[in-house]
Amino acid sequence: MRILYVSDSYYPHINGVYYFVCRVGPLLQGKGHEIAVIAPSERMSSTFKKVDGLDVYGLPSMSVIFYPSVRVPVPFGLKKKIRKIIIDFKPDIIHIQDHFPICKAVVSVNRKLKIPIMGTNHFMPENITVFLRRQYWKKRLEHFLWKGFSKVFNQVRLVTTPTEYGVSLIRPRLKVDTMAISSGIDLVTFNPSGNTQTIRAKYGLPDKPILIYVGRLDPEKHIEEILEAVAIAVKTIDFCFVIVGKGTSKPALQQRVQKLGITENVFFTGFVPDEDLPVIYRASRCFIIASIAELLSLTTLQAMASGLPVIAVHAGALPELVKDGMNGYLYTEGDIPAIVKGIGDIITRDDLYQGMRAKTLELVQRHNIHTIVDTFEKIYRQRSL
């Protein structure tokens, strides 16, 4: 089969869409399918290049002033360029990953081409509206964004999303079939076994238990909540909190660390390359996430595959991954004492840690990327008929 993925964000902008396509695409290619991607280019002109072994057609784009890593397509000639790519590639099925300008244009162009088309939703409006303070404007923008979502995704044959929570968000807004399919995790790359001796030295981490967060450092991630708990927990428990990632909130978080007096206990690694990330998970004792707007949380899956118990806020799709008291703890947003207790239990009680470690490795198996690829391959064959 010839499968065309379409997204309004892609490498080098690293997010859930990119990780989904860059893992599923090559595995499908390895099974004999031909894969291509349409996404924004990194300049004001069209590009064509290989990314992760996949053919990527880059459409002319401009960077967003306040968020340079995000790019939007140049509207002039957009549909004409898309039409040529589709006609040249001759896909058996098109799989859009969002409802923004490029995907919207693909759906529009495809009305005449009539190629089978499906979509996956990775979108939650909270990831955009978090920067607005007034609830009135948040609600208005959310309504606008969901309206745009419905308009585009109601024109495809099937819409998938990574979790049942995601399905509950989109099903009331759609007239087409919806289905929950995990984005999957590579259980070979992320696993609990392997040497971790050199990773601490490389990132200057002390020889003590590590509580780890991996992800964007942006307001909706609520990392300040974790820092408040860490400031209390380190008074009685010897551990360090490692924050892996980059984002707009990093300066504010560093200031908060200083104000709380925990600079010796908190480490910002910045971006960690792919070859180091599995190792830094393995070197850790527990993963923590406070984000209330997660449709799946790839980093939580990575942590689980690495054998880490997880402390997570009871919000979004996180309760589908974390079973309270089994492979970690769920806490109510803002409940700092509950976070402190969870940290203390997992770091100090080895019997509890070992039990949660075994359970988290069991639960993550259903997200095996090879199972997910087989599922999508079956859907592509069915929906392309």
Domains of the chain, earliest start first: 2-184+368-383 (3.40.50.2000), 197-367 (3.40.50.2000)
**CB atoms < 10 A from the CB of 160, how many?**
22
| Contact present, 106 and 89 (Cβ < 8 Å) | no
Name all contacts of 379-385 with Cβ < 8 Å and 24+ positions apart.
379/118, 379/158, 379/160, 380/1, 380/3, 380/92, 380/93, 380/95, 381/1, 383/93, 383/116, 383/118, 383/157, 383/158, 384/1, 384/92, 384/93, 384/116, 385/116
What tokens were used for 218? 């942006």
Three-class SS string for 5-40?
A: EECCCCCCCCCHHHHHHHHHHHHHHHCCCEEEEEEE
Task: Give residue 129's pLDDT.
Answer: 64
Task: Give residue 253's pLDDT.
Answer: 97
Which residues partner with 3 through β-bridges?
A: 35, 93
- What type of residue is 172? P
| Contact present, 40 and 63 (Cβ < 8 Å) | no
CA–CA separation, 381 vs 92, rounded Å? Answer: 9
Three-class SS string for 219-235?
A: HHHCHHHHHHHHHHHCC
Task: Give residue 220's pLDDT.
Answer: 85
CA–CA separation, 328 vs 176, rounded Å? Answer: 36
| Contact present, 271 and 246 (Cβ < 8 Å) | yes
pLDDT digits (tens, 9 = 90+) for 230-245: 999 999 999 999 999 9
Q: Which of 277, 220, 210, 267 is nearest to 247 (CA)?
A: 220
Mark the ranges of the chain whose per-residue pLDDT is less than 50: none
Which residues partner with 244 through β-bridges?
A: 214, 270
